[in-house]
Amino acid sequence: MKFPLFSPDPPEGSGDSTQDTPPPAASIVATGQRTEREVELEKELEAARATVKAREVRVAELEDENHRIKAATTPAPRRHPLEGATFFH
């Protein structure tokens, strides 16, 4: 038995009638207007990015300082007393 690929009776209101006014979302996209919520979210995102960047900079500074301190406190390797000496010296 073959089944039809389309509904024999289209649902009400889904006809191909053209609308004179576009839906609100389409007009916002077409004009490029942003809602207050979008502006607020952008500000929150920028603040979060600034916080993350400041944290990463601080971590890098602390790592540099840690490396500098470790390098300054590490004693120089001691020379072996017989290093460079020969048997017939």
Number of domains the chain contains:
1
Whether residue 84 is contained in a domain is answered as no
Which pLDDT value is given to residue 66? Answer: 94
Which pLDDT value is given to residue 19? Answer: 58
Distance of CA 69 to the CA centre of its chain: 32
Do residues 28 and 35 touch, judged by C-beta distance below 8 A? yes
| Tens of each residue's pLDDT in the chain, 89 residues | 566 566 666 566 555 555 577 787 777 777 878 889 999 999 999 999 999 999 999 999 999 999 999 888 767 777 777 776 676 65
Whether residue 38 is contained in a domain is answered as yes
Q: What is the pTM of this model?
A: 0.48
Whether residue 67 is contained in a domain is answered as yes
49: containing domain: 27-73
Which pLDDT value is given to residue 82? Answer: 72
Compute the distance between CA of residue 61 and CA of residue 71 in angstroms, rounded to an integer.
15
